[in-house]
Amino acid sequence: MWKRLAQRRLRALSRQFPAVLIVGARQVGKTTLARQTFPRHAYVDLEEPRTRERFAADPTFHLTEQAQRPVLLDEAQAVPAVFAALRGLIDRRPAAHGRFILLGSAQPALLRQVSESLAGRVGILELEPLVPAEIGVRSWRTAWLKGGFPRALQGDFREWWEAYLRTYVERDLPQLGVATDPLLLRRLLTMLAHAQGGIFNASAFAQSLGVSYHTVQRYVDVLEHTFLVRRLTPYHRNVRKRLVKAPKLYLRDTGLLHHLLNLSSLDEVAHHPVHGMSWETFVIEDLMRRERLAHPHTQFHYWRTAAGAEVDLVLDRGSTRVAVEVKVGEGGRPRHVTALEQSLTDLAARSAWVLDQAAGSQRLRPQVTRRCAAASFAWLPN
């Protein structure tokens, strides 16, 4: 059983708000985290048919019955009426923090219901897949290959992901009221895998798939809102350089990426054109997941000029910015370091870090340092 880094953040939110909402992809470990953190809370699965029927018929009554002690409400979006009922119960005892822990997989519907009914009454935690610091840093190669979903790590990740995608298309999306063509969605996912980390051009994807630009946009929105795709937006400041303004798209989990590309081992990954982007995804996702817990208000971007100068990840912490460049080989080449150093002025960043697979660390310039990524799974850039 893995101890999740998010547990501390979850406890802090429960001390501040009457209700806490945990969102994340299916099977990412939301229920396990909640039950480990709050073992004395009553547990209610709103996706269980009989329970869902009872709560849908009279949510206030059943919540009142359950609320004799704190309660976990799993798959809360299955019964939208519970949110209005929760508002009344919370307002009767607004100072009783941590009474309700809500779990859900459908981010758009859940956040819309929360914003309408529970604004100011609920803290929100997005639970990400496991990171090497949680599964053991010696297992980082396994995490890179298989991704961070607990059950994918415990067995044949390719069999697990195939079953996950089938359930996602056949059950999850219809339950969310999302109409999709399964074959088209699978083709789009595979195309995104081949274009991993690239600039998103919906028109180009649409032309290749033989559908409209708007269809591609809608499908990508669905994938993003259900936590399979990450849209990394460009960073803009009032600089005079011509900047790339389109987002970059990543499949968030490297296990999914490798499955869609039919890669079953890291040796196969190493001989595939996606090798560098797979490593970049793995390192960036690890940093972002841990950064979000340590600095919840950090915003994430990439930076690229029309002339080709680029930074893979910009951590915008409000008052400070940090630039991160990820290299699959050794990242200390003078030309790359010079370009990275020059970008610091445009970004108004305090420092830049190059994370690669070479051993040790090395200061390359006054504000630029190279580090071994595999030795940095418990470290955040500063």
Total structural domains within the chain: 2
Q: Are 186 and 263 part of one and the same domain?
A: yes
**314 band by pLDDT with thresholds 50, 70 and 90:** very high
Separation between Cα atoms, residue 119 and residue 87, nearest integer Å: 9
Residue 381 has pLDDT above 70, yes or no: yes
Q: Which of 343, 342, 333 has the alpha carbon at shortest distance from 364? A: 333
Q: Are 347 and 211 part of one and the same domain?
A: yes
Residue 302 belongs to some domain of the structure: yes
DSSP 246-285: SPEEEES-HHHHHHHTT--SHHHHHTSTTHHHHHHHHHHH
Separation between Cα atoms, residue 329 and residue 337, nearest integer Å: 14
Residue 305 has pLDDT above 90, yes or no: no
Q: Are 174 and 115 part of one and the same domain?
A: no
Q: What is the pLDDT of residue 369?
A: 95
Q: What is the pLDDT of residue 243?
A: 63
Residue 382 belongs to some domain of the structure: no
Residue 6 has pLDDT above 90, yes or no: yes
Least confident range from 19-23, 148-152, 258-262, 304-308: namely 304-308
Domain closes at, from 67, 94, 126:
126
Domain closes at, from 68, 101, 126:
126
Q: Are 84 and 213 part of one and the same domain?
A: no
The pLDDT tens digits of the residues spanning 28-87 come to 999 999 999 999 999 999 989 999 999 999 999 998 887 778 999 998 888 888 888 899
Mean of pLDDT over the chain? 91
Q: Are 321 and 230 part of one and the same domain?
A: yes
pTM beyond 0.85, yes or no: yes
Q: Are 363 and 222 part of one and the same domain?
A: yes
Residue 380 belongs to some domain of the structure: no
Domain closes at, from 126, 160, 190:
126
Domain span at 70:
6-126
Residue 277 belongs to some domain of the structure: yes
Q: Are 367 and 232 part of one and the same domain?
A: yes
Q: Are 319 and 221 part of one and the same domain?
A: yes
Q: Are 35 and 179 part of one and the same domain?
A: no
Q: Are 144 and 19 part of one and the same domain?
A: no
Burial track 321-345 (b if 16+ CB lie within 10 A, e otherwise): bbbbbbbbeebeeeebbebbbebbe
Q: What average pLDDT score do residues 177-199 get?
A: 92
Q: What is the pLDDT of residue 109?
A: 63
The pLDDT tens digits of the residues spanning 255-303 come to 999 999 999 999 999 999 999 999 999 999 999 999 999 999 999 999 9
Q: Are 242 and 357 part of one and the same domain?
A: yes
